[in-house]
Amino acid sequence: MKIINAYAAKEAGAKLESFQYELQDIGLEDVDIKVHYCGICHSDLSMLNNDWGTTQFPFVPGHEIAGEVIAVGTNVKNIKVGDLVGLGWFSESCMHCDQCMGGSHNLCPTKEETIVGRHGGFADLVRCHWSWATPLPKGIDMSKAGPLLCGGITVFNPILMADVKPTDKVGVIGIGGLGHMAVKFLNKWGCEVTAFSSNPSKKEEILKMGAHRVVNSRDKEELEGIRGSLDFILNTTNVSLDWPGYIRALSPKGTLHNAGAVLEPIGIPAFSLIGGEKSVSGSPLGSPALTRKMLEFCTRHNIYPITEEFPLEKVNEAFDHLEAGKARYRIVLKVA
């Protein structure tokens, strides 16, 4: 039995308070991670407010974890005490369904999510199945690694899913916590990157991230000006957009991919897809193997999120900063 010190909300939208809970003895395939850093994702805010109707209280957020393994079950593979690892949105999968056996553990129908029905990483310790404890590459900056385990893999997976090529012209909608990492990835992938942003004051900063041009997403003339030019567009926002306008911006056989959790139905006329053999897709993060590959790609090209750091005890200030739209561009909590 272990006593875990954490921060939890007792009801939807409440401030987080000091909270303790007990963990049973470690399971045969479990890994206990001492949390050093934990990012705050917009999904933590959505769960805190119970926007998706899946939150259980008391609620301990945190699913962008970087830390050190301090205990392992007897059947754990490839992970040992002392290893530095990361943990993202998923914490366990069944390891025997067709999706897991095919390498798509993130599509497992019974997968466990780190902050859904269990306690997350705003704590001194978090537990997961060994398969989702991702080894961190040697030399990685742990203070910036956490957001890669959720936001990073969320925008990296679609690049491979859509078979994006270095010769492609691509677009990223929304240059925030997800979008700024997508711009960095696609630039190093070799693509010509167009960033769609509703904030003109961020233009120079977005260009420094690796975008080749910035289009004002609220200007219909600018959007029409790139009609038929993009092979792939990645939406990282969670709001309704001018969907037909973005479909028109795609070249024939182009793909509009959604990584943002848009709650409203996406209204796209069928003929706008049929005439150019265009498609719309979406994805939830990525598999453990792909997450390792992403981290290797990040260390090879020195790709990190732009972060702001808060101590764990100032978690409520950090949430207020995020909710006010002031985060530039990911917030990380220093735990230990």
pLDDT exceeds cutoff 90 at 194:
yes
DSSP 156: H
The Cβ of residue 112 has, within 10 Å, a number of other Cβ atoms equal to: 16
Other C-beta atoms within 10 Å of 289: how many? 13
For residue range 219-277, what is the model confidence (pLDDT) as tens digits?
999 999 999 999 999 999 999 999 999 999 999 999 999 999 999 999 999 999 999 99
Q: Decide if 153 contacts 43 (C-beta within 8 A).
A: no
SS3 173: strand
Q: Which helix (H) or strand (E) is 76 found in, with range?
A: none
**Local confidence band at 31 (pLDDT 50, 70, 90 cut-offs):** very high
Kindly report, residue by residue over 153-183, the tens digit of the pLDDT. Answer: 999 999 999 999 999 999 999 999 999 999 9
Structure tokens, 324: 């006010």
- Phi, psi (degrees; rounded to nearest 5) at 94: -70, -25
Return the pLDDT at 175.
97
Could you read off the pLDDT of 139-157 as tens digits, one per residue?
A: 999 999 999 999 999 999 9
Q: What is the pLDDT of residue 336?
A: 79
The pLDDT score that the predictor gives to residue 1 is 86
The alpha carbon of 192 is separated from its chain's Cα centroid by a whole number of angstroms, namely 23
What's the maximum distance between 2 C-alpha atoms anywhere in the chain?
Answer: 62
